[in-house]
Chains A and B, each alone.
Chain A
Amino acid sequence: MRKESDRGIAIVGMGIVCSIGANTIEFKQSLKSGISGVTRLAVRKGPKLSVDMGAEIKNFSFLDDLYRYSDLPDEILQKARHCARRSSFSIQASVLAALEAWQDSGMFARANDPERLGVIVTGENTTQNYRYGLQASFEADPEYLSPRYALQFLDSHQVGVLSEIFSIKGEGFVVGGASASGNVGLVKAVQLIQSGIVDTCLVSGVVADLSPMELQGFVNVGAMVRENTFETPSEASRPFDAGHAGFIFGQASACVILQSCDMASEQEGVVRAKIRGAALNLDGTRTTAPNAAGEARAMTMALQRGGMSAGDVDYLNAHGSSSPLGDATEVEAIKQVFGDHLSELRINSTKGLTGHCLYSAGVVELIASVLQMEDGFIHPNKNLENPIDSDLRFSGATFEKCRIKFAMSNSFGFGGINSSIVFQNGG
């Protein structure tokens, strides 16, 4: 019989590149300080858009950052350079986050059976801006279109790149789940490991490199904050605040390495946290509308699968996208699930600092949660001045110490996609 502490799937490596940190150490510091990555958007070619702010990755240099991971064998760094040097921003960002996670896991120093390693890339339509950038020269002269385009416009190119760098030869694929993509990937990785198909799975959340057309689309559908709504960019992402007005575009590539507990104990690496339960369900709708019952069902199912009850959870990293309807719906769902235990549950939303990282949000927020667990704090809800609900215990405007043993992270997406993950500290 397994001990209680052996349950779950181990998180053995984490890596990130986002607007408030080029790695997990910088990211953790920004979380503690409540630093927002939201600024005026970089100027884009093309028509003027109705959106003027976002939490973009700035000062990105693949070659400068590559050699930061000098603990890794030279062979891996050379392969990374070779595979990604002439690739799109989104590939390069994925590679850097994956290198950090790989170094963190210590796996490079051990013998791994490549056929027992898997890779899941989270995010759909991740090459839109790459394509948009080629449009004008393509229209001028289709014949000079790079032959590489036929590979690189495919989301699955990320699978190929990561599998080549890290010699992964088990299962690998792309998952899409709109804003829940990151969590969808985590759910599938947990299932791959639980079913014994792989021992270890790298989950890579792809940076949302939206083209001007997607940015405008999110404004037009009423989901993203329209220009001139806020004077100060850092105040624009306001999850659960009465002044929330839609989500703010955020960029992050984020990577975690999941492993069966048996393999983790065999490898004697550091287990940073353990995923206990993961759930994904649908509302049966093609629309953007959130649904409290569906969200509650995802949270409840994640708890059940983890053999846990609502009262066990100390901390919730909410989906909290700063959407008025989305935030109110999630509050309703949280109340349904946590009922009498609301007073014991601390809540924040990382999107208040990072913006909404879309395809990678679930992975970003799992990493944020584990970093908070490890250091015993909850990060500020920087812009939460007038909470839309007085029963929920949201974190305040400043860093707070908080002992977290069990945590939950939610992600919801257009098309009625609900997901929730519960995890416990690594000890």
Chain B
Amino acid sequence: MNTGESVLEKINVFSVVKNAITEVLPDVDSESVDIEQNLKSLGANSIDRTEIVMLSMEKLDIKLPLVSFGGVENIKEMVDVLVDAFDGNS
């Protein structure tokens, strides 16, 4: 896989995650979500965060144990975990 494809993939995954965020947190404006932010700062509680992860995985047809997201500090790192799994799937 070349780097261009990987960047594209990351953008797509981030857009899936943003959709999940606005679905779970309707007050968040998807345009204003920065990939360096963390979900807590957007107002997500622990169930919201789990649901955002699961909705994203469902959209991407990925299954990962939730523990895979244990060390995730911000949206970017969450997207990275999803992209890695997505690569593994394809």
Chain A residues with CB under 8 Å of chain B are 81-82, 85-86, 141, 143-144, 146-148, 151
B63 beta carbon closer than 8 Å to chain A: yes
Flag if B54 contacts A147 (CB, 8 Å).
yes
Flag if B51 contacts A148 (CB, 8 Å).
yes
Residues 10-63 of B contacting A (Cβ, < 8 Å): 23-24, 26-27, 47, 50-51, 54, 57-58, 63
* Residues on the B chain within 8 Å of A82, using CB: 27
* Residues on the B chain within 8 Å of A146, using CB: 51, 54
What are the 8 A-B residue pairs with the smallest beta carbon separation, nearest first? A147-B50, A144-B58, A147-B47, A143-B63, A147-B51, A146-B51, A85-B26, A148-B47
Q: Can you give 14 contacting A-B residue pairs, CB < 8 Å?
A: A81-B26, A82-B27, A85-B26, A86-B23, A86-B24, A86-B26, A141-B58, A143-B54, A144-B54, A144-B57, A144-B58, A146-B51, A147-B50, A148-B47
Give how many B residues have a beta carbon under 8 Å from the other chain's beta carbons: 11
* Residues on the B chain within 8 Å of A85, using CB: 26
Q: How far is the CA of A148 from the CA of B55 in the complex (A)?
A: 12
Q: For residue B39, give the distance in angstroms from its CB to the closest CB of chain A.
A: 14
* Residues on the B chain within 8 Å of A144, using CB: 54, 57-58
* Residues on the A chain within 8 Å of B50, using CB: 147
A86-B23, A144-B54, A147-B47 are known contacts; what are 18 more A-B pairs with Cβ within 8 Å?
A81-B26, A82-B27, A85-B26, A86-B24, A86-B26, A141-B58, A143-B54, A143-B63, A144-B57, A144-B58, A146-B51, A146-B54, A147-B50, A147-B51, A147-B54, A148-B47, A148-B51, A151-B47
SS class of chain B's interface: helix, strand, loop or mixed? helix
Q: How far is the CA of A151 from the CA of B46 in the complex (A)?
A: 13
Chain B residues with CB under 8 Å of chain A are 23-24, 26-27, 47, 50-51, 54, 57-58, 63
Q: How far is the CA of A86 from the CA of B23 in the complex (A)?
A: 9
Q: For residue A387, give the distance in angstroms from its CB to the closest CB of chain B.
A: 52
Total contacts A-B at CB 8 Å: 21
Q: How far is the CA of A143 from the CA of B50 in the complex (A)?
A: 12
Q: How far is the CA of A151 from the CA of B58 in the complex (A)?
A: 20
Q: How far is the CA of A147 from the CA of B50 in the complex (A)?
A: 7
Q: How far is the CA of A367 from the CA of B5 in the complex (A)?
A: 63
Nearest residue (CB) in A for B46 is A147
Q: How far is the CA of A146 from the CA of B53 in the complex (A)?
A: 10
Nearest residue (CB) in B for A145 is B54
Q: For residue B65, give the distance in angstroms from its CB to the closest CB of chain A.
A: 9
Q: How far is the CA of A86 from the CA of B21 in the complex (A)?
A: 13
* Residues on the A chain within 8 Å of B23, using CB: 86
Q: How far is the CA of A81 from the CA of B63 in the complex (A)?
A: 31
Q: For residue A331, give the distance in angstroms from its CB to the closest CB of chain B.
A: 51
* Residues on the A chain within 8 Å of B63, using CB: 143
* Residues on the B chain within 8 Å of A86, using CB: 23-24, 26
* Residues on the A chain within 8 Å of B47, using CB: 147-148, 151
* Residues on the B chain within 8 Å of A147, using CB: 47, 50-51, 54
Nearest residue (CB) in B for A86 is B24
Q: For residue A165, give the distance in angstroms from its CB to the closest CB of chain B.
A: 16
Q: How far is the CA of A161 from the CA of B23 in the complex (A)?
A: 19
Q: How far is the CA of A85 from the CA of B23 in the complex (A)?
A: 10
